Structure 1
Amino acid sequence: MSRTTARAIRIRLGVTPDAGSWCTIGKIPEPPSDVREAAGAGALRPAFMRPLNVLGLALGGPFILVLMLLALIVTCGQALNNWLATGEERERARAEDLDITRRDEAIVELGLDKTFDGDWNGAAAKFLLRWYSHSSHHQRFVVLSEGRILLAAPPKRVSIRREDRMRVVAEIPAGEAVLEDLLPAYGNNKLRIRFADGSWLALTTEEMRSDLHKYLMRHPQTGEVSSAEA
């Protein structure tokens, strides 16, 4: 994390961060009706973008088209380079492709392609069902600070200036859950929050090898957590 980002978090959230990254969750499955009612019958998905934001995207269409064309040119250039590559370079490219395949297989094997562990009575599900009640924004800035897991977001969904509008919307105290990187050998964008009862929910970071991944590589959060309900 850059000094500028860390300073902004201290000012905006009032905490000193160990690490932090923007994250999203997967689609929340439809829970049993009694479970959802007990959790407050909150929203199961983020808010839609406002009409003005959609209009802005539409007006930005030509710019997006240019970006797509540039991406196509880059892709064609890479394909040409691959065709002209030496045997050693092709072998390295095949090894990288194999590494990606193994990573994707590991993600499925560990269940990180799912939103949570599937137990609607677990602490993770209870936390998950209140996710969008805290904020209708589709992202969370997940911060590790003094053993706590803090989640910050703008109160409502925004398309710009998310950092300027974010506030802490949820906190998991130290000892009630840990943040884990189950794929440290791979460059990946998957993490999970594991609660004391063994239930968990998966996070997808905005970046591969995010600031949280780098921190967890230095300080693995795989210790035991207390039996208190998260």
Structure 2
Amino acid sequence: MSRSTDRTIRNRLGVATDAGAWCTIGKIPEPPADVYQAAGAGPLRPAFLRPLGMLGAVLVAPFMPIAMLFSLLASGEEALRRLLSTKEERDRAGASDLDVERRDKAIAELGLDQTFDGNWHGAAAQFLLRWYSHSSHHQRFVVLAQGRILLAAPPKRVSVRRDERMRVVAEIPVGEAVLEDPLPAYESNKLRICFKDGSWLALTSEESRSDLHKYLMRHPEPGEIQSTEA
């Protein structure tokens, strides 16, 4: 975490943090009607960008063909570079591609391509169903602070100055859940909040090996949560 980001968090949230990163969740599946009503029947999707926020996209749109051209040129340059590369370089590139393939396979096997574990009566689902009731913003700044998991966001969806507008919108107390890197052997942007009843919620960080990943790498044993189940 950069010093400026850490300072913003301290000033804005009023907490000393161990690590933090901007994350998103996947699409929330359609829940059973009774479970949805019992959870308050809150929104299941983030808010749309306001017209002012969409203006930026409109202004950028005319330049998209140029951006696509540069992208194609970059792809061609990469293909040419690989063609002219040495055997050692090609072997390294092949090994990297294999790592990506293995990582993607592990993501599918662990179910991390899903938003949560699938149990609508679990703690993860209950937390998930209230996700956008706390804030209509599409991202959460996930913070580890003295054992707690804090989630911060602007109250409403914004396109700029998210750091300055964020506030704590949800908190998971110590002992209720832990944050883990489910793929420590790979460079990935996947994280998982594991609740004490065994349910879990998948997060996707804005960047691979985020500040949270690095923290969890330095502290690989967060401690098991004792289940309340018999």
TM class by smaller structure: over 0.9
Report the counterpart of residue 152 of structure 2 in structure 1.
152
Q: Give 1:228 shift.
A: 7.0
Specify every segment of 5 or more residues in structure 2 that has no aligned partner in the other structure, as ranges. Answer: none
Opposite residue 37 of structure 1, the aligned amino acid is Q
Opposite residue 2 of structure 2, the aligned amino acid is S
String of CA shifts for 1:77-114, please: whole Å, max 9, x gaps.
11110011111111111110000000000000011000
Q: How does 1:36-185 map to 2 (within 5 A)?
A: 36-185=36-185
String of CA shifts for 1:179-206, please: whole Å, max 9, x gaps.
0101111100000000010000000000
Matched, 1:214 2:214: yes
Report the counterpart of residue 20 of structure 2 in structure 1.
20
Q: Give 1:64 shift.
A: 3.8
Task: Rate the CA distance shift 1:32–1:132 in 2: closer, same or farther, 3 A.
Answer: same
Tell me, what secondary structure is at the counterpart of 2:74?
helix
Opposite residue 136 of structure 2, the aligned amino acid is S
2: CA distance, partners of 1:69 / 1:172:
46
Opposite residue 45 of structure 1, the aligned amino acid is R
TM-score by length of 1: 0.96
Tell me, what secondary structure is at the counterpart of 1:73?
helix
1: CA distance, partners of 2:186 / 2:65:
32
String of CA shifts for 1:45-85, please: whole Å, max 9, x gaps.
10011122223211121344433332222221111100111
2: CA distance, partners of 1:221 / 1:160:
36
TM-score by length of 2: 0.96
1: CA distance, partners of 2:146 / 2:65:
45
Tell me, what secondary structure is at the counterpart of 1:60?
helix
Matched, 1:201 2:169: no
String of CA shifts for 1:162-191, please: whole Å, max 9, x gaps.
101000000001111000101111100000
1: CA distance, partners of 2:227 / 2:100:
37
Tell me, what secondary structure is at the counterpart of 1:54?
helix
Task: Rate the CA distance shift 1:46–1:98 in 2: closer, same or farther, 3 A.
Answer: same
CA contact (8 A) 2:150 2:172 kept: yes
Between Structure 1 and Structure 2, how many residues are aligned? 229
2: CA distance, partners of 1:200 / 1:108:
15
Tell me, what secondary structure is at the counterpart of 2:149?
strand
Q: Which moved more, 1:72-81 or 1:115-124?
A: 72-81
RMSD: 1.4
1: CA distance, partners of 2:201 / 2:221:
15
Q: Which moved more, 1:32-41 or 1:60-69?
A: 60-69
Percent identity of equivalent pairs: 72
